[in-house]
Amino acid sequence: MPPTGTKRPYSGSGSGHRSGPRPPPQGSQSQTQQPAPTGPFIPMFTEFRNELDEHHDRRERIIKASRDVTAASKKIIFTLQRLRPTTLPLNEPLPYHITNEISQYESKIQTLLASILPDLQDLNGSRYQRQISPGLQEYIEAVGFRHYLLKGTAIEWEEAAWYTSGLNADEILGKKSGEEEKKEGGTEVDVEMVDAQRALSGEGPAAQEGSDGNEKKEEKTSLQGIKLSREDYVLALFDMTGEMMRFAITSIATTPLSELIPTPISEGAGEGAKNPGRSTPRALLQDLRELRLAFEGLGLGRSPFGKDAEKKLEVMQQSVQKVEYAFYGIAVRGSERPDGWIAEVDVGGGTAE
């Protein structure tokens, strides 16, 4: 027998009709526009609304730029990881193809930093520090890793702040063109002396571009550079130890056994980074130990920086242990392998004996 009765409507009422007045049809003349609210406080709250909209738009721009800077900085690190030096520091310019690839990413980073300079002026620099912090840390990690490979020392805070200010793009990218001129002929000192003499005498491209350069400098001086906090600098150095660990593991796997075992690991400890003859694995292990000793002596405290640094300190200690265990494995089992043995590294990243 089919059910009888009235179907319950969607509105929930017992009858089949909608309860309450029906809404007027769209487009009818009964719909009238409500007048704009008026009152003595309306202009004030309208201004508050505009300020909040500007704040959210500014915050989104900074976050997006920080993410793009992080992505480009990671590509710089991946490019540097392809190097296979036998000794550290390099004490010579990077290969041309590496420099050319890095310059493309660094040019993008400097463009992104310059684009958010107006958003980080005065108090906004501190207000949005948490939003721009990840990008700055990753960029300093990339620049610091390159600085370490070239000079064997940690990058200083003043130099790191110069890179992240967003005001020195021409100088940062111009240095690479000077290195290319040095490869074509003459020394770096000669190139700088010739350019200086041309600028003083009013000849050459430096003098011709003087007026344009002055106008650009006036525009830049009206803006304050992006401030790099010392906390972000220290956290970036923490992260750099992870890249040093990866570089060391790869160097251990690709270095002949005869260059790892005979010479003691502690050789050259007194000379430090000034010793140009240190093999890459031993140099990395020694410098990682020195960084671990320095970081463990920091008074982190209970501030937000202390919480972040405490987590990174634990990761850094694990990175140093991985390099030490790799060396211990080579030293203990070295007698079982023939002279000249090198690990075969496959495409997947594993090793096969």
Is 337 within a domain? yes
pLDDT at res. 98: 94
pLDDT at res. 205: 43
Is 247 within a domain? yes
Please, which contacts does 177-184 make with residues 24 or more away whose CB atoms are closer than 8 Å? 179/93, 179/99, 180/96, 183/93, 183/96
pLDDT at res. 269: 44
User: How many folded domains does the chain comprise?
Assistant: 1
Rounded to an integer, what distance in angstroms lies between the CA atom of residue 331 and that of residue 337? 11
pLDDT at res. 221: 58
pLDDT at res. 97: 93
Is 332 within a domain? yes
CB 239 within 8 A of CB 269: no
pLDDT at res. 10: 61
Is 297 within a domain? yes
Is 147 within a domain? yes
Is 285 within a domain? yes
* Structural domain harbouring 274: 54-167+223-352
pLDDT at res. 92: 85
CB 308 within 8 A of CB 235: yes
pLDDT at res. 193: 31
Is 175 within a domain? no
Is 37 within a domain? no
Residue-wise pLDDT tens digits, 94-104: 999 999 999 99
CB 127 within 8 A of CB 112: no
pLDDT at res. 300: 79
Ramachandran angles phi, psi of 201, nearest 5°: -85, -10
pLDDT at res. 21: 63
129 by DSSP, 3-state: which? helix
What is the pTM assigned to this prediction?
A: 0.72
Name residues whose C-beta falls within 8 Å of residue 312's C-beta, 6 or more positions apart in sequence. 235, 238, 239
CATH number of the domain enclosing 229: 1.20.58.2140
Instruction: Walk along the chain (353 residues) and give the pLDDT tens digit of each residue.
Output: 566 656 666 665 555 555 556 666 665 555 567 777 788 888 899 999 999 999 999 999 999 999 999 999 999 999 999 998 888 888 888 999 999 999 999 999 999 999 999 999 999 999 999 999 999 999 999 999 999 999 999 999 999 999 999 999 999 988 544 444 444 444 333 333 334 333 434 444 444 444 555 555 555 557 889 999 999 999 999 999 999 999 999 998 888 776 776 544 444 444 444 444 578 888 999 999 999 999 998 887 788 888 899 999 999 999 999 999 998 887 777 656 666 565 554 544 444 44
pLDDT at res. 321: 95
